[in-house]
Amino acid sequence: MSDKIMAVYNRAPVVFERGEGAWLYTADGEAYLDCVAGIATNGLGHANPILVAALTEQAGKIWHLSNIFRIPGQEELAQRLTANSFADVVFFGNSGSEAIECALKTARKFHAANGQPERIDVIGFAGSFHGRTYAAVNASGNAAYIEGFGPRLPGYVQLGLDDMDAIAAAIARPTTAALIVEPVQGEGGARALSGEWLAEVRRRCTEAGVLLIYDEVQSGMGRTGKLFAHQWFPGTEPDIMAVAKALGGGFPVGACLATAEAAKGMIFGAHGSTFGGNPLAMAVAIAAFDEIARPATLAHAAALAEDLSGGLRDIAGRYGDVIVDVRGKGLLIGVKLVTNNRDFMAAARDQRLLVAGGGDNCVRLLPPLNMTHDDAAEALRRFEATCTAVRAAQPKAA
């Protein structure tokens, strides 16, 4: 491995040359079944012909244009996103972190525009992940992402998801601007919030004039079988939402969605991006959106999720010495392990199965939404074979 690259990643010792659907191939033709999908990003699989066509067609026209010009693709994608969500307006960036950054700035600016600039506090949660910019790591409050980077930014409060009394008290404080939460925690270990939790927080935020921000960077774009995970629970819509990952099907693009009211401070000059929403990104994201938002795609994702999580629960029943439980929502599946999750990921690779890590000693399965039922069955066989191998490698109880 190269020492010319910053050592911030723990990379698996394997190199892929090409992909097709849910499969990745090494140069010497070894096939791996991909339940990582770029961390829920290749939502439509690798080398999807619809996305390849959209990309190559746009590549011959215009790649990039400054946002000082109209970009019709932005208008088209914003039309689709707002027609299919709570939102009225959209800002396009290049990543999840930038979508979060825009969400946090939009929330503070809203209160400033309302003549309440003292409302700056943002409530975040233990186990959350919002990306790696300064604002994002402070909003998450996870020590591993903050330590060594200087003082904490002011105005970020971290609470536990289970402490509703503390949450209620923090929402009611006059300096609180916003509350940010993932409807299904991803990196933290596939923890799905209940409809009751979301409804209670929605109600309290509305009462206190606090903006509710959802981070659906990982849980959105069909991952749970709805376009956005919170849409399983009508009445829990946020004021602002960050989306990225599968939005571009692997092409870097992110979006911050908001109601017109919440975005009222985001006037000319308040925010911007050079690359955000460029024609290449928009062409791919529009094609991805039209494919993901089809009822048949969402229904397939929901059915596939039933296959996989049902199958994993059966395996958990047979391997209580390896698996603690199966959790998550839709195709954002977490398997909490008894044995070390990094070791399990390596053992799965030996079975030519790719799974992602996650907090709380989980591995995550985040397959493409359009994985076939046959491939899902194969993933379960390989997962069980991994459990067998991990069990065999365990030291015998004394």
Q: Which residues are annotated as a binding site for pyridoxal 5'-phosphate?
A: 129, 215-218, 274
Binding-site residues from annotation: 129, 132, 215-218, 273-274
Which distant-in-sequence residues (6+ apart) come within 8 Å of 24 by Cβ?
16, 18, 31, 32, 34, 46, 354
Nearer to ligand PLP, 97 or 259 (CB): 97
Shortest distance in whole angstroms from residue 381 CB to ligand PLP? 28
Shortest distance in whole angstroms from residue 295 CB to ligand PLP? 25
What H or E segment, with its residue span, contains residue 376?
A: helix 373-393
DSSP 128: -
Question: How far is C-alpha 225 from the chain's CA centre?
Answer: 14
Nearer to ligand PLP, 96 or 328 (CB): 96
* Binding residues vs ligand PLP (CB under 6 A): 95-97, 100, 129-131, 182, 186-187, 215, 217-218, 244-245
Shortest distance in whole angstroms from residue 129 CB to ligand PLP? 5
Nearer to ligand PLP, 42 or 218 (CB): 218
CA nearest 54: which of 284, 291, 286? 284
Integer CA distances (angstroms), 369 to 35, 161, 375, 384, in order = 10, 28, 12, 21
Nearer to ligand PLP, 191 or 204 (CB): 191
Nearer to ligand PLP, 215 or 291 (CB): 215
Nearest position to ligand PLP, beta carbon:
96
Give me the helices (H) in 31-163, please: 37-40, 49-59, 72-83, 96-113, 134-140, 143-146
Shortest distance in whole angstroms from residue 344 CB to ligand PLP? 21
Shortest distance in whole angstroms from residue 380 CB to ligand PLP? 25
Which distant-in-sequence residues (6+ apart) come within 8 Å of 186 by Cβ?
39, 40, 129, 217, 218, 219, 332, 358, 364
What H or E segment, with its residue span, contains residue 90?
A: strand 89-93
Shortest distance in whole angstroms from residue 61 CB to ligand PLP? 26
CA atoms within 13 A on the CB side of 203: 9
Residues facing residue 122 across a β-bridge? 156, 178
Shortest distance in whole angstroms from residue 97 CB to ligand PLP? 3
Q: Contacts by 3-11 with C-beta closer than 8 Å and gap 24+? A: 10/342
Contact present, 215 and 244 (Cβ < 8 Å): no
Nearer to ligand PLP, 142 or 339 (CB): 142
DSSP 15: -
Nearer to ligand PLP, 187 or 291 (CB): 187
Binding-site residues from annotation for N(2)-acetyl-L-ornithine: 132, 273
**Strand order across the 356-358 sheet:** 323-329, 332-337, 362-365, 356-358
